[in-house]
Structure 1
């Protein structure tokens, strides 16, 4: 059985974006497979009593500097989104919906949304902006909206988020190598060590 790293993420987390950029290189160096686990970070926060760094003014200011440092380290193009925080419920439902239907489309969707949020600074609180980003990437925005309203997709995201909390996830990004939990893109060093062991 090949080595795996499970990646729990939410598009609204800048640190999830940074991990999204760096984790494939970790997987390549270690010969590991990434298992993509979209979750609703707001649901995780509610269940665990955790809070976004943006809710703590000093930590929010520091995080802007910190994410810029990590962006340079990874060669990423993170731009602070002036519309942050974004309600990602619809975005994460679509991620789960694509994952249930078409793995290739899921990866194209993830790239589109991460880029729209953290490179293009689009206002993804606005359904019209989401639709424009999807259309520009070749998606049928109406089909995506219909998928978001599918009860099975809604339930799948809820179950995925509850399962993450049950495993001990309290924030994003989170990673599992076997049963060992790692939290934060800055723990990718330890993720890589665990995969290489």
Structure 2
């Protein structure tokens, strides 16, 4: 029986970016299905009373040092984005819209945005910068913007976020294997272990 990893994510989380770089390999090696579920981390924080570690200066400094250690371990690029934290509402609506309307382009879309944020350090709070990134990767900015205003897309992101909260999600990344919840990219070893269990 194929196991499924449900990956609740928001582009604005550097820890989520790191998990994103590793999950496809883990799922391939364990013959598991990876399901991406976009959510709005700001909505999760508001509902749960949680906040970004970056809001506490000492914790924020440590977090980025620790994430850098993991990036080196994984062999992936990670650069601190000086615009962090950013409001990801429009970005996550766009991600949700692409997932719903152009699923065949979803992976490429998420790839280009994660790279822009956490490798290139671009300011994706700036519409002109977002448009430039999308153009560079073959996405029509006007079409993507239209998706962010689509009521079905808005509702889907809201529903995903509300479902996440009901399931006990308080931050990102959060992963589920059945009813087992795993929070944080530093728990991927437990995710892999659970997937290997018969």
Give the aligned partner of residue 48 of structure 2: 48
Give the aligned partner of residue 27 of structure 2: 27
Q: C-alpha distance in 2, partners of 1:136/1:33?
A: 30
Give the aligned partner of residue 161 of structure 2: 161
CA offsets per residue over residues 88-108 of structure 1, 9 Å max, x none? 001100111111112221111
Q: C-alpha distance in 1, partners of 2:102/2:135?
A: 18
Do residues 180 (structure 1) and 180 (structure 2) align?
yes
TM superposition score normalised by structure 2: 0.98
Q: C-alpha distance in 2, partners of 1:122/1:130?
A: 9
Pairing 1:128-167 to 2, within 5 Å after superposition: 128-167=128-167
Give the aligned partner of residue 7 of structure 2: 7
CA offsets per residue over residues 114-173 of structure 1, 9 Å max, x none? 000001110001011001000000000100001101111111111110000001111000
Which runs of 5 or more structure 1 residues have no equivalent in the other structure?
Answer: none
List, as ranges, runs of 4+ consecutive aligned residues in structure 1 with deviation greater than 6 Å.
none
Do residues 85 (structure 1) and 85 (structure 2) align?
yes
Pairing 1:53-68 to 2, within 5 Å after superposition: 53-68=53-68
Q: C-alpha distance in 2, partners of 1:74/1:90?
A: 29
More deviation, 120-129/96-105: 96-105
Do residues 114 (structure 1) and 114 (structure 2) align?
yes
Which runs of 5 or more structure 2 residues have no equivalent in the other structure?
Answer: none
